[in-house]
Structure 1
Amino acid sequence: GKAGGTPKSSNPDYYDGDIPFLSIKDMTSQGKYINYTEKTITKWGLDNSSAWIIPKNSLLYSIYASVGFVAINRKDIATSQAIYGMILKDNVSLEYMYYYLTYYKKNLHKLIETGTQGNLNAKIVKNFDISLPSLKEQELIVNYLSLIDIKIELLTNEINQLSKFKLSLFEQIFV
């Protein structure tokens, strides 16, 4: 894997093209799966920067500013240098690595380079000490954690519905 790159914003010919261009904001607003990006770049912008195309179903990891966000892209995309794209080997489950790196975020403070803001770099990410069980075990872990995610989503939706119901009762009772 490697980090992306940002075409010069001073050149409008580099932007508003056909290539989705991922930002940290896109990652934090969409969660686990990236289905779209706010910005796009042109082929010229891609060729004249250190940006590269990260194939769909790769792992995306934020390494600048909002460090430690993890996502999976559902389409080919380019990213800024704040995001490290990982193409995994066949013996590694994409979903397992998503969960592992989500968990690993709590350890990042020990590895972050300090400056005005804490950042990681490609070398640090490549040297993460990752526990990797067999692919079969990875898949069992993913299935279990995915079921918990589904339950969390259902309960979150139920809480949101109850909150709306409560507000509508307030309006009926206290008007």
Structure 2
Amino acid sequence: YAISKQVFAQIPNEWNRLDTLFSKGKAGGTPTSTNKDYYNGDIPFLSINDITKQGKYIKYTENHLSQSGLENSSAWIIPKYSLIMSMYASVGLVTINEIPIATSQAMFAMQLKDTNLLDYLYYYLSHFRYRHLYKYIETGTQSNINADTVRRIMIPNYGHSRNIEIASTLKSIDAKIDNELSILELLNGQKQYLLRQMFI
């Protein structure tokens, strides 16, 4: 996050409201949980748990809705490669869905006008969550923000190609970290194996 902080500390050419960058932005909905016919269908239904487990990209969900569950709630099918932000509980978590998906009202999903900005907005909003979001949180019974707050988030614009370049740099740093972590995991496994062999 230190690198994101450094990158986004630069003065942008201009600022754009987030809602000027998407063609559709809408929260989801949850069908009545007591009606079992609304669940266990074929429609992936995103939870916070899925985001915390999978991180940047959502490839599957633990829960599913049926077609009647979708029709009897304000949930909608979010096309793949949309940007999704949580508004309740773990406020401000951002993810990108690699599959068409539905969400609860706790999530705000955005179909971008320019999908080339998907990574850029993912990284900026993740940075925003750590640096600025606390100023917008309404504390009731649980911390939350509302859809209007999300729409009004101001996004720095450094020029289209520079935005893409920033995203690409941050993405390659992420890849490097993931690679190092898997090497570490591998070495740890070898160490455990060798220790077990020593004491046989």
TM-score (norm 2): 0.83
| Structure 1 SS opposite 2:37 | helix
State the match for 2:101 in structure 1. Answer: 77
Give every structure 1 segment of 4 or more consecutive aligned residues whose post-TM-superposition deviation is greater than 3 Å: none
User: Aligned partners of 1:161 and 1:91: how far apart in 2?
Assistant: 35
Deviation (angstroms), 1:174: 4.1
State the match for 2:159 in structure 1. Answer: 134
User: Aligned partners of 2:80 and 2:118: how far apart in 1?
Assistant: 11
State the match for 1:57 in structure 2. Answer: 81
1:47 pairs with 71, 77, 81, which one? Answer: 71
State the match for 2:126 in structure 1. Answer: 102
Q: Give % identity.
A: 53
Deviation (angstroms), 1:19: 1.3
Is the counterpart of residue 11 in structure 1 residue 5 in structure 2? no
> Cα–Cα, structure 1 residues 92 and 126, in superposed 2: closer, same or farther, change >3 Å?
farther
Deviation (angstroms), 1:90: 2.2
State the match for 2:50 in structure 1. Answer: 26
User: Aligned partners of 1:13 and 1:172: how far apart in 2?
Assistant: 53
| Structure 2 SS opposite 1:55 | coil
Which of 1 and 2 has higher RCO (CA within 8 Å, sep 6+)? Answer: 2
State the match for 1:157 in structure 2. Answer: 182
Q: Which runs of 5+ in 2 are unaligned?
A: 1-24
User: Aligned partners of 1:104 and 1:135: how far apart in 2?
Assistant: 19
Deviation (angstroms), 1:170: 2.3
Task: Give the letter aligned to residue 81 of structure 1.
Answer: Q
Q: Which runs of 5+ in 1 are unaligned?
A: none
Deviation (angstroms), 1:91: 7.8
User: Aligned partners of 1:166 and 1:83: how far apart in 2?
Assistant: 42
| Structure 2 SS opposite 1:9 | coil
User: Aligned partners of 1:132 and 1:19: how far apart in 2?
Assistant: 35
Deviation (angstroms), 1:161: 1.4
> Cα–Cα, structure 1 residues 92 and 123, in superposed 2: closer, same or farther, change >3 Å?
farther
* Total equivalences in the alignment: 175
User: Aligned partners of 1:12 and 1:29: how far apart in 2?
Assistant: 26
Higher strand share: 2
User: Aligned partners of 2:114 and 2:170: how far apart in 1?
Assistant: 21
User: Aligned partners of 2:199 and 2:188: how far apart in 1?
Assistant: 16
The answer to whether the 8 A contact 1:17-1:40 is kept is yes
2:191 pairs with 160, 166, 169, which one? Answer: 166
State the match for 2:61 in structure 1. Answer: 37
